[in-house]
Amino acid sequence: MSAKGPATEQLRAGQPLLVETFAEWREAARDLLVHGVPPELVTWSAPQVGGDLFTSAPSTVQPVHDLPDLPLDPKPPPHIPRSFMDMLQSAACCRVPDRWAFLYRVIWRWQQGEHDVQSPADEDGARLHGMVKAVRREEHDMHAYIRFRERPEEAGPPRFVAWYEPQHDVLPQVAQHFVSRMGKVSWMIATPEASVLWDGHTLHNTGPLVRNADDLEDTGEALWLTYYRSVFNPARLNAGIMQQHIPSHRWKNLPEGKIVTQMVSDAAMGARKTGQFQAVGQRKGTTIPIAAEDAQPERQQPSKLDECRRCELWEFATQAVPGAGPKKARIMFVGEQPGDQEDLAGQPFVGPAGKLLDQVCEAAGVDRSTIYVTNAVKHFKWEPRGKRRLHKTPAQREIEACHYWLEKELAHVKPDVIVALGATALKSVLRTANVTLKASLGKPMQVDGRWVVTTYHPSYVLRVPSEEAKREAFSTMAAGLKLAHELLERPLGIPEPE
């Protein structure tokens, strides 16, 4: 029972049915449902829009004299499924003035057997789903756009502070998110309605704070702005998409918000100038022929793999993944491209395909630690599928662009035998798209003064659906690796029989 007494008694006494939290609403709703009070007889006090659950203004309600007779033996309210309750709890964070009345109507209808009220096809259900969506979106935005600023150590805790102006009451759940991610370091999130302070052990609710912009500056921010300026690419600017992804009300609390307007207008100015140059270029005049290659600006080749911009893949990968293994290995394995785990770890073949490769090496009697292992393409190419990053086969132009790095590795390591794991590797090693895995499988070739052996990619073996085919693919791979080992002792020069 709430400190204000049961909801039915409050209604009878003409007291406002003040509800501040979801737990209080649930308690009140339970009491009302048990006594069969229909929604039209209940006046809920509306929280201020823009205020929060803790600052709702009391409002007066008309005394309710015509409550139905209370049953002597009130019935327990029906069991509400957990998932539905979760929905109601989420919707309760949505700042709409009639949230408590609306939620009571929904749960009342549910109790009356109108289970369609949960469905987006129902009018109330659609609104409920919309409120849940708005709240989830706000939680997501707050995770994404909150910026913690570091405070000087001598100022004492909290070490990091963040100011945010949420559109809905999502601070408690967002705070839990940061509790689980920021370890023991102390931080505070301040909002106009409420604030939370994490001292490294316990989360404290503190009152609303007024933002003092000067308190929120730090040296990390200057560094961040410098970085942001340096990665801002006016050629790729699409102001519409930018607005769509980060609505304008978010920008004012993002550090980069201060410089974005200027950068966007500089970019627009640049585009205008380019347009003028084009118009000038189209005017009639004398044509002076220039060889195409002389008209190209000199482009420096990247000296470090991590700086590589030879194709677009760098932009979506966490990092470039170089080859690994002994610098003078006699055998080099070439895979396709790093996978999800390799992209995060920065090392080739450390995920499931790598584990399988270990097993095949063992079966073939090849010591993997003596092998240099690399990939034809050094950045992870993927596409989103829900929360997962799904591997996408690299295009020929990406294989060709990345061949630059494979050549460097070959020049350094000078292996006697290359094992191409799968079709992409084979295309890269032979520098042509006109090869098939099937035609080359298990047939040693002599290329540029070394042996090349082709076998399956370990991911293929992992993917084969039937156990029997899997066993077969595994032993084909093992035979390929054994062959590579044998070729170490076979002299080059004598062509292989067709």
The yes or no reply on residue 191 touching ligand URA (CB under 6 A) is no
Closer of 394 and 444 to ligand URA (Cβ): 394
CB of 417 vs ligand URA, minimal distance in Å: 18
Within 351-410, the residues that bind ligand URA by CB under 6 A are 351, 353, 375
Residues 6+ apart with CB under 8 A from 491: none
Residue 422 to residue 35: CA distance in whole angstroms: 71
Q: Which stretch binds ligand URA (CB under 6 A): 93-101, 175-183, 287-295, 331-339?
A: 331-339
The yes or no reply on residue 343 touching ligand URA (CB under 6 A) is no
Residues 61, 65, 67, 71, Cα dihedral to 10°: 130
Closer of 335 and 480 to ligand URA (Cβ): 335
Residue 319 to residue 313: CA distance in whole angstroms: 10
Q: Which stretch binds ligand URA (CB under 6 A): 65-73, 123-131, 133-141, 342-350?
A: 342-350
Q: Applying CB under 6 A, which of residues 339, 415, 444, 480 lies at the interface with ligand URA?
A: 339
Q: Which stretch binds ligand URA (CB under 6 A): 114-122, 244-252, 335-343, 467-475?
A: 335-343
Place of tokens 């990939």: 375
Q: Which stretch binds ligand URA (CB under 6 A): 29-37, 42-50, 220-228, 345-353?
A: 345-353
Q: Applying CB under 6 A, which of residues 47, 125, 166, 348 lies at the interface with ligand URA?
A: 348
Helix (H) or strand (E) holding 195: strand 195-198
Q: Applying CB under 6 A, which of residues 335, 394, 415, 480 lies at the interface with ligand URA?
A: 335
Whether the CB-CB separation of 391 and 340 falls below 8 Å is answered with yes
**Taking the chain, what is the end-to-end CA distance rounded to the nearest angstrom?**
88
Q: Applying CB under 6 A, which of residues 47, 325, 338, 394 lies at the interface with ligand URA?
A: 338
Residue 231 to residue 364: CA distance in whole angstroms: 47
CB of 349 vs ligand URA, minimal distance in Å: 4
Within 415-474, the residues that bind ligand URA by CB under 6 A are 459
Q: Where are the alpha helices (DSSP H) in 180-333?
A: 219-231, 239-245, 248-251, 257-281, 292-295
Nearest to 312 by CA among 233, 393, 230, 381: 381
Residue 183 token pair: 């370890």
The yes or no reply on residue 166 touching ligand URA (CB under 6 A) is no
The yes or no reply on residue 47 touching ligand URA (CB under 6 A) is no
In one-letter notation, the amino acid at residue 174 is V
Task: Determine the Cα angle at 228 with ends 227 and 232, to 5°.
Answer: 120
Enumerate binding residues for ligand URA (CB under 6 A): 335-339, 342, 348-349, 351, 353, 375, 459
